[in-house]
Structure 1
Amino acid sequence: MSNPHTPASARPADPVTILVDADACPVKEEIYRVAERHRAQVRVVSNSAFRVPVSDRVQRVVVSDSFDAADDWIAENAGPRSVVITADILLADRCLKAGAQVLAHNGKPFDAASIGSAIATRAIMADLRAGMDGMGGGPPPFGKADRSRFLQALDRVLVQLARRVR
C-alpha cells in the first residue's frame, strides 16, 4: 500500500501492460521474452484458450466468442501505461484514443498521425476485395525481417514508457 504522503514522483509507477490481440498474433513468443526483460505484464486476449507461459507476468484472458469481444476487452483495458499489439486498425484507433501505444505485428506503430490514413486505406481495400469475388492475395507472408522489426519496435516503446516514469 503506498503512503499518501509520499510524493507521486517517488511512488512506484503502475507496471506497463502489454495487451495482445492474440487470435492471429504471430509474435507471442517474442512478446513474452521482451516483457520479461522489461518486467512488463502481458494479457493475452482471445476467444479461445491456448497455452501461455507459466509466469506471474503473463495472464491469459479468454472472452466470449461473440463478435468483437476480445477487441472490446482490450479497448476497455487500454490506457497510457499499456502497449497494444494488434493488426486490427479499428481496434488500434480505439486504443490510441485511450492513450495506449499501439504496434502492429510487423512492428509498424499506429499513432495519431497515421491512424486516419490507415482507416481510409482499410475501407478502400475492403471495397476492392468485395469487387473481386474472393480472388486476390492478402497480406504478404510474415518473415524474419517483420519479426526483427517488431522486436525492435516493442523494445523501443517499452524503454520510452519506462523513461516517462522517471
Structure 2
Amino acid sequence: MNSVIYVDADACPVKLEISILAKEFKCELRFIASYDHKSNREEESGEWIFVDPGRDSADLYILNHIKHQDILITQDIGLASLALSKGVYVLSPRGTEYKDESIVTALDFRFLAAKARRAGKYGKGPKAFTDLDRQQFQESLRRLLSNLAGD
C-alpha cells in the first residue's frame, strides 16, 4: 500500500490503535506534533515529527506533506476540510469519516459554536472519549485500510 497515514498527534487519543493497524497493513505512519506536546512515545511505532510550538504548526506541516490517497487522522474540522480538497481520506479519532458532502455542515456547526462562545455562551464541551469510540475508530480505520489494500 502506498498511502501514508498522517496523525495530527497533539491530542489524539488513539495513537496506539493507529500504530497497531499501520503495522498490520504495512503502512508508513507519521505522527505530527508540536514540541509543546512532546511525550513518552514508547508504545507508538512510526515516525515522529515535531514542529514549532503554535496553533497551526502541525496543521501546516501536514498540509505541506500530505498527498492524494494518503490518510489523515484529526479532530480538527478545518484541517480535515483542507485535506479533503487534496484527495486525502480523513478520519476523526471517534471513527467518523469526513467526506466532501458532509464537511460543509461540520464547518458550519464549528462556526456557530465559535460565534456562541464569543457571545459568552459555553456548552458542555465535547463528550468524554469512550471505549465504544475507540472501537468505532478501529473498525473505521481497518475498513478504510482494507479497502485501500484491495482486501
TM-score, normalised relative to structure 2: 0.91
Structure 2 unpaired stretches of 5+? none
Q: Which runs of 4+ in 1 moved over 4 A?
A: none
Larger Rg: 1
SS at match of 2:62: helix
User: 36, 41, 64: which one pairs with 1:52?
Assistant: 41
Specify the code of the residue in structure 2 equivalent to 1:30: E
Q: Distance in 2 between matches of 1:23 and 1:112?
A: 25
- Correspondences of 1:74-85 after superposition (within 5 Å): 74-85=62-73
Q: Deviations over 1:6-32 (max 9, x none)?
A: xxxxxxx6x221100001100001000
Distance 1:160 1:117 in 2: 26
1-structure distance, mates of 2:93, 2:100: 18
C-alpha spacing 1:53/1:40, structure 2 compared with 1 (3 Å): farther
For 1:142, what is the secondary structure of its paired residue? coil
2:98 aligns with: 110
Paired residues of 2:16 and 2:43 also in contact (CA < 8 A): no
Shift in Å, 1:54: 7.9
Number of matched pairs: 149
Which consecutive residues of structure 1, in runs of 5 or more, have no partner in the other structure? 1-12
Answering whether residue 79 of structure 2 is matched by residue 91 of structure 1, we say: yes
One-letter amino acid of the structure 2 residue matched with residue 96 of structure 1: L
Tell me by how many angstroms 1:132 deviates.
2.6
Fraction of identical pairs, as percent? 32
1:61, distance to aligned residue in structure 2 (A): 0.4
Q: Is the 8 A contact 1:19 1:84 kept in 2?
A: yes
Match of 1:136 among 123, 133, 136: 123
Indicate if the aligned counterparts of 1:18 and 1:43 stay in contact, CA closer than 8 A. Answer: yes
TM-score, normalized by length of structure 1?
A: 0.83
SS in structure 2 opposite 1:113? Answer: helix
Distance (Å, rounded) in 1 between the aligned partners of 2:48 and 2:39:
8
Q: How do 1:51-70 and structure 2 match up within 5 A? A: 51-53=40-42, 58-70=46-58
Q: Does 1:73 align with 2:58?
A: no
Superposition RMSD in Å: 1.8
> Following TM superposition, by how much is the alpha carbon of 1:67 offset from its aligned partner in structure 2, in angstroms?
3.0
